[in-house]
Structure formats: structure tokens, C-alpha cells
Amino acid sequence: MVYSSGDNPGEQVMGFRVNMRHIDCYERSLSKRTQSAVERSKRQAEMISATLRRKQMEIHASVDAAGDLKTPVHVGNGEFLMEIGYGSPAIVSKAVVDTGSEFIWTQCQPCKQCYNQSVPFYDPSKSSTFSQLACNDSLCKSALQAGQARCKVQTSDCLYDSTYASSKTSSKGYFVYDTLTFGGGANLPQVGFGCGNENTGGPVFQGDVTGIVGMGRGPLSLISQVGASLGKKRFSYCFLSYDKYFGGPPKTSPLLFGQLAVLNEKTQVQTVKFVKNDKLSLFYYIPITSIAVGGKDVDIPAGTFDVKEDGSGGMIIDSGTSLLQLVEAAYTPLAGAFKAGINLTAVDGSSIGLDLCYAVKSGSSPPSVPSLTFNFEGDVKYEFPTENYFRQSSDELFCLAVVSVKGQGQSSVLGNIAQQNFHILYDEDSASLSFQTAQCDSV
């Protein structure tokens, strides 16, 4: 068990807290940060679409020439980093935190092909708490059923082979059990994760960033594995206003697990149930019904946000996507509603990858814009602060921070910039999402 002091003297609760660093925190150029955020959002949209296509084709297992089962697994994008230690004694590094990823993995020895990292590699042979995760293990069986693993018949090893659509990131190796250590000294024994012997790293994976901590709904994600031991199968986070990460010493956002993941009773809490998607069960889908701009519902075709029979559609909430992204049927009328409500001439924002931008003078106050509200089932309203959907994207551009995703098999995504200034709680026990406005640097 992991214990952390509660708010009341003498009280102890099960859970732990980590601080997340934004991957752009050392990038001082506002334009470059915006470009990077747009590019990562588009890659994440491609990853979600590619994952759906894999499910639709029912590529759960194929037999290779050696007779081994082989399954491709897509891992997610990343925006936030957490410190994590692997094994005993702990080898400490940083990992991408992603609610849209299926499991945990890190580079490890012996490494056949690895990208450069500035910290030591995790070596299971030197850990006193390491054990192999075999094919007949219950966790491996769950992963096999979910299409997240394959079984090497000759050795009974539980293997994985993960790729990430439209990027240079991949990891291939075998699953192990070992102790994971988090900030504040929280030790979680017997956690299953991928020991990557063959890896390629995209732009995020360099220096002391050695892998991914998946927080999705799959059986191998961190919350799925450790939630029961923490008393509550839930976690919460609170993303600081994007601009607070820059212009001084890097700041962090809190991520809380178990019984520490609670919202403030003195501030209004709103709750929605997750929407079920049998084709893409690892993502967190939320039940949006309509969008209002300036207090008026946008004319979006009925059924635009429904999860379709083939698994496409719906709206996902995701920590690993930067910007709010909407399918074209929703984006086009939304952008039109903002154009009609802003008495300025739009300018070209293609240099940073955004469609609707306005010219502003350096140092001047940004123009006022209509409000944006997402309406959910049960009369739940998600009312955006302006900085969550309009961004000062350079010294002279003020842009709608929304990306249009086009084509078949796409989903809308509530990205992390749209989530800033909210404390958001994921509760797997009740299959629900709760949120409230918050000063995230005081959570």
C-alpha cells in the first residue's frame, strides 16, 4: 500500500501525487510552441484513426513465419512528463503521461536497438524485485484478449510490438513485473510494464525521457493495474494555464491517484458518464450533445458526436492531445459562428497551422470573442475560459485554437489546452468524469 498524509492532522489516505512538466516548457518562442502543439494534435488524430482502422480490420492476431502470434499495438502521443523509477534499486527517468495510451513501457537492457538517453537504462537483471510476465499470467491473458500483447510459444514470454502512427516512435520487447517508484517516495510493487529492447524515439523521446506511462482504459494501463490497491480506481489532474509554464522557472501540474484524487467540495462539481465504445475501449469518450458560441447553439448536424457502429465518431478527452480538435461537420459551423461574432477581418494563419486568426499589435490587449460552451447529457455545461480556445499564437496573431480533422474514421478530441484551469477526475469505479474550475497551482 502507498500512504500519503491527508488534509486533516493524523489522517492517512491511500494514494500518491506526482508533478507533471510540460514538454514545451523550455521553448521560449511562442510561434514554435504553437506550431508544435498543432503538429502534435494532428499526429494524435492520425493515431486515433489508425487505431480504429486496426480494430475494424480485426487484426487481433496473425501468425508469422516462426509460428509466433504477432499483434501491432499503437501507443499515444504525449504532452506532459512525469518522473518515474523502475526496479529496485530504482532507475529514475522521465516518461510521457498519456490517457490515450494502452500500457507502460521503457527502454531496457539488453538493448538491441535503442535511441539515445542521458540516464541509465533499466536493467531487469539488476533489480531485486523483477519477475517475468509469462503467457499464462492473468495480466498477459487480459492483454492478449485486448490485442495489446502476443505470446512467444517456444519460451512462453509475453511480448509486445508497439508502433505510433505518423511518427518515428516504436517499442518492441517483453512484459515484466517490477516495482515502480513515483515522486514523494510512492512505491508500487508488482506492476506490469514493457521492457523495450528495440526502440525508436520521436522528438519527445530524448535526454531523460525513456518511455510512456499509459493511463487509458486497457488492462495494462497504470490506473487499471494499481487502482484497486489504492482504495479507489481513479486519478485526477489539473493543468495550469498554458502560459504559466513559460517565462520563468518551469512550473508543473499535479497528477493525483487513489484516495488523493478528490475535488474541492466548496466549488461546483459536474459529472458525466463515459460513453461506451466497444471498438476503441481504451479511450475516454464523453457525452457531448451540442456546442454554443456566444450563448447560441451552433448548427451542427444531428448525430455528429455519436459513437458510430464501426467505432468512429464520438468525443474523446485526452491528456496527450494539445488542441481541441473537431470533426469537419462540427468545425466548419463552429468557425463560421466565431467569424460572424468577431467584428474583425480574419488573416492567414497557415504559418502556424491554424485556420481562423486575427491580426493584433504587439503588446496590445487581445480582441474580445464570443463565449464557448460544450453541452453534455444531463444538462452539464463545460464553459471554456477564453484562453482555452483562443490563443495569442505569435506577437501578431490571435487564433482559434481548434483543429479540424477530416475524413472517415475520425473522432473529436478535447485536448489539454481546452482542459486547463479545470480539476478533472477520472473515476473508473463509477465510469464517470467529474470536473470543476480550479486554480491548478494551488491544488
Catalytic residue numbers read 98, 318
Which residue, 205, 209, 115, 212, is CA-closest to 162? Answer: 212
Distance CA 242, CA 255 (A): 16
Name 133's Cβ contacts closer than 8 Å, sequence gap at least 6.
139, 140, 158, 174, 175, 176, 177, 192
Distances (CA, A) of 28 to 31, 32, 38, 77, 191: 9, 8, 16, 22, 37
The span from the first CA to the last CA of the chain, in angstroms, equals 23
b vs e for 249-278, b when ≥16 Cβ sit within 10 Å of the residue's Cβ?
Answer: eebbbbbbbbbbbbbeeeeeebbbebbebe
Strands in 99-238 per DSSP E: 104-107, 131-132, 150-152, 157-163, 170-182, 186-200, 209-214, 234-238
Identify the CA nearest to 204 among candidates 243, 244, 171, 228.
171
Q: Which residue has the cell 469505479?
A: 429
Nearest C-alpha neighbor of 417 from the set 391, 379, 380: 391
Distance CA 72, CA 209 (A): 23
What is the number of H-type helices and E-type strands within the chain?
5, 32
d(CA 376, CA 382): 8
Do 202 and 143 contact (CB within 8 A), yes or no?
no
- Unique residue bearing C-alpha cell 484478449: 145
Residue among 220, 232, 222 at smallest CA distance from 319: 222
Cα–Cα distance, 369 to 301 (Å, whole number)? 24
In whole angstroms, what is the distance from residue 154 CA to residue 133 CA? 15
User: How far is 178 from 85, CA to CA, in rounded Å?
Assistant: 10
